[in-house]
Amino acid sequence: MPKAMRAYIRFADSISHYSGLFAMYLVFVLLLILLYASVMKVFFLPLNWGVETAQFVMVSYYLLGGAWALRHDEHVRMDLLYGGWTVKRKAKVNLFTDCAMIFFLCMLLFGGIASSIYAIETGERSFSAWRPYVAPVKIVMCIGILLTLIQAVAILFKDWATIRGEAVS
């Protein structure tokens, strides 16, 4: 395997690791927001920004953690047939699904960028009573999709190396 591919895999794995750690801590932020909103609703006046902020944090958590889940093979997979296959056969099938995933992520990124540009240009706001700008969450969405795309290409390289019988690390 060329040194550039190995360097790319190390880079992608590192970025996925740190984005996953960041996403992990967003769960605590989410819990604090929901706790605060619950206390305010029961004892004081309800917040009109609590639930929507929690939704934005949850979107960030989900999308920024996607690359980490992909790196550690923690995503959902149908193992009915896959589990009994050899490592090389799994890599060959993965090569096909990796290409499909990369295509899908490219389409998502393209749509996300277009949507983010529209939100920035028009000052798009949510339809709730709070009416926050949606551009920040759309930008985070694009970053999460990009990080997952970077990791997907690294997985493609790893599967290619496995088919060729080369060590990745």
The domain of 60 spans 3-74+82-164
For residue 13, pLDDT beyond 90: yes
pLDDT tens for residues 37-64?
999 999 988 888 998 999 999 999 999 9
DSSP for 89-122 reads HHHHHHHHHHHHHHHHHHHHHHHHHHHHHHHHHH
The pTM for the full model equals: 0.90
Q: Would 169 be classed as within a structural domain?
A: no
d(CA 108, CA 102): 10
Q: What's the pLDDT at 128? A: 86
Q: Would 151 be classed as within a structural domain?
A: yes
d(CA 33, CA 44): 15
Mean pLDDT computed over 115-132: 94
Q: What's the pLDDT at 141? A: 96
Non-local CB neighbours of 126 within 8 Å, separated by 6+ positions: 52, 132, 134
Residue 169 pLDDT grade (very low, low, confident, very high; cuts 50, 70, 90): low
By residue count, the chain amounts to: 169
Mean pLDDT computed over 11-26: 95
Helices (H), the chain: 3-43, 50-64, 66-71, 79-82, 87-122, 135-164
**Selection from 28, 101, 37, 31 nearest residue 66 by Cα:** 101
Mean pLDDT of the chain: 92
pLDDT tens for residues 87-119?
899 999 999 999 999 999 999 999 999 999 999
Please tell me the total count of domains within the chain.
1
Angle at the Cα of 154 from the Cα atoms of 60 and 75, rounded to 5 degrees? 50
Question: What are 3's two structure tokens?
Answer: 């040194």
Helix, strand, or coil (residue 133): strand
Q: What's the pLDDT at 35? A: 95
Mean pLDDT computed over 17-23: 94
Q: What's the pLDDT at 120? A: 97
Q: What's the pLDDT at 61? A: 94
